[in-house]
Amino acid sequence: MTDLYPTIGLEIHAELLTKSKVFCTCSAEFGGEPNSRCCPVCSGMPGTLPVLNHTAVEYIIRAGYVTNCEISRFTKWDRKNYFYPDLPKAYQISQMPRPVCLNGYVDINVNGTEKRIRVNRIHLEEDAGKLVHDDATRSSLADYNRCGIPLIEMVTEPDFHSAEEVVAYVEKIKLLYKYAGICDCKMEQGSLRCDVNISLAPKDAKELGTRAELKNLNSTKAITRAIEYEIYRQSEIIESGGKVLQETRRFSDTTGETTALRSKEDAHDYRYFPDPDIPPIIFTEEELAAIKQALPEMPEQRRERYISQYGLNATDADNIIGDKDICDFFEAAIKAYDKPKTVANFILGEFMRRINLGEMSMDSLKFEPADLARLIELGETDKINKNNYKTIFVEMIGSGEKPDAVCDRLDLWVKDDTSAVEAVIDKLIADNPKPAEQYRNGEQKVFGFFMGQANKALKGQATPNTIKAVLEQKLKG
């Protein structure tokens, strides 16, 4: 039995973060009451015409630049014709022979190994509406709010050979698109959607096997499961002497299996032809240079800055950059308190811990970056004892209360009232004559015991330096 080797290609659809739809002026926001974000154009009324959104074109060019694509100087739009109730015009405006972006690549890192994935093309098209199925009345209800949301479709070459590589690529694309400011990449909301083409063949085979196209992959976890299931399913077929059919298959999150949607035999003949309502575009070198110039700072550039300017180590820099929302939070926080390393430590420590515990999420933070900056500043300037960070932070997470207000309310300000400290320490030494004796006999390690007890008794109302100084003085007697 020869080893079967999977070959995988991806189609990634991403909804662009424009304010208006790609061919009309309706809001491109997610959601809304059914058909409340529609107009005669996006609902396909007779006589209406599409007018292309400038920013959608800018954003697909950004997508091209961040994935090392060539940008076509001449680009045009085509109609993809098919009947479906979520497509009110019965054609989707898309791009066939002249996409905006061609021949790019993206480097991924899987278990320490660099790998280059080739991008075949990226084109701009319009999203379709949504259907809700109603069993009771045997009908489907169509909502066109999503019709006309700008969508870019990236097609890769079949350069992947494992689910791990695919996931690494999808994560990388999410990162690039988010930093480019063109997509929020929320797979669960469908703003980033991934179709997987997968085939199996013996490793040294000259030709690829017959591929299946997997749809409905709403998370990177679903991608992994679907690929693994499909490798299993196709190998079973091949090893038992059967033939894999070229078909579209739907992945089910509940069963973890894929099932056939339609086979290629009854595939559509989409009758692509140039859309006569949308003139082609010619770009000048100056226009493209300006778009490139206006690209937001990308992860690589931030990483460089964090290491060389802020003195972060590579791992810390990568960890902060790995999540754009956290990274943006970090950027905003250090604008309020210019100690990048300190702020980074807090974010990579307590801040991330609370996120990982599920106690807070970047989507619904109740406090501002400046509030976190203030908390760290209070600790760094000995206004509060750092031991109280957690107490204060938990309050901020829960209610958004400002750190100063929390300290007022819970009486957490460092008083540095030496006489109060002396009183507490005097009592401590009196209550623990034996350890005090040991210290005086040169057993330095019991000092830690006294520090701990003093801190506890003083509840962070004095700085550790003050406590330490008083303790040393008193213990020496």
Residues of this chain, 219-238, that bind another protein according to CB under 8 A: none
From the list 45-53, 155-163, 189-197, 218-226, the region that binds another protein by CB under 8 A is 45-53
70 φ/ψ angles, rounded to the nearest 5 degrees: -80, 140
Q: Kindly write out the interface string for residues 340-379 of this chain, putting x where it contacts another protein by CB under 8 A and - elsewhere.
A: ----------------------------------------
> Among 5, 30, 48, 224, which residue sits at the site for another protein (rule: CB under 8 A)?
48
At 78 the three-state DSSP class reads: strand
15-23, 334-342, 346-354, 451-459 -> range binding another protein (CB under 8 A) = 15-23
Residue 143 CB, nearest distance to another protein (Å)?
5
**Residue entry with tokens 């930093």:** 179
269 belongs to the binding site for another protein (CB under 8 A): yes
148 neighbors 41 (Cβ within 8 angstroms)? yes
The strands making up 150-156's β-sheet, listed across from edge to edge, are 70-71, 101-110, 113-126, 150-156, 4-15, 192-202, 212-217, 247-251, 258-263
On the CB side of 165, CA atoms within 13 Å amount to 20
Binding window for another protein (CB under 8 A); candidates: 34-42, 114-122, 304-312, 364-372: 34-42
Q: Give the nearest distance from C-beta 21 to another protein in angstroms.
A: 8
**Per CB under 8 A, which of residues 87..126 are in contact with another protein?**
88-91, 97-98
User: Nearest 5°: phi and psi at 14?
Assistant: -130, 130
Residue 42 CA neighbour count, 13 Å, CB half: 28
| Shortest separation between residue 379's beta carbon and another protein, angstroms | 44
Considering only 55, 210, 220, 345, the residue that binds another protein (CB under 8 A) is 55
Residue with tokens 């999808």: 170
Does position 289 interact with another protein (CB under 8 A)? The reply is no
Out of 7, 11, 13, 35, point to the residue binding another protein (CB under 8 A): 35
Stretch that binds another protein, among 81-89, 226-234, 335-343, 452-460 (CB under 8 A): 81-89
- Contact residues for 316 (Cβ-Cβ < 8 A; gap 6+): 306, 344, 345, 348
Q: Pick from 76, 121, 146, 225 the residue near another protein by CB under 8 A.
A: 76
By the rule CB under 8 A, 277 interacts with another protein = yes
Name the DSSP letter for residue 382: T
Asked whether position 79 contacts another protein by CB under 8 A, the answer is yes
Question: Per-residue DSSP letters for 435-451?
Answer: HHHHHHTT-TTHHHHHH
- Three-state secondary-structure class, residue 444: coil
Shorter beta-carbon distance to another protein: residue 45 or 420: 45
- 1, 47, 363, 434: which one binds another protein (CB under 8 A): 47
Furthest CA-CA distance within the chain: 98
Measured from the CB atom, the residue of 144 and 169 that comes closer to another protein is 144
CB of 248 to another protein, least distance (A): 11
| Inter-residue contact 245 to 260 (CB < 8 Å) | yes
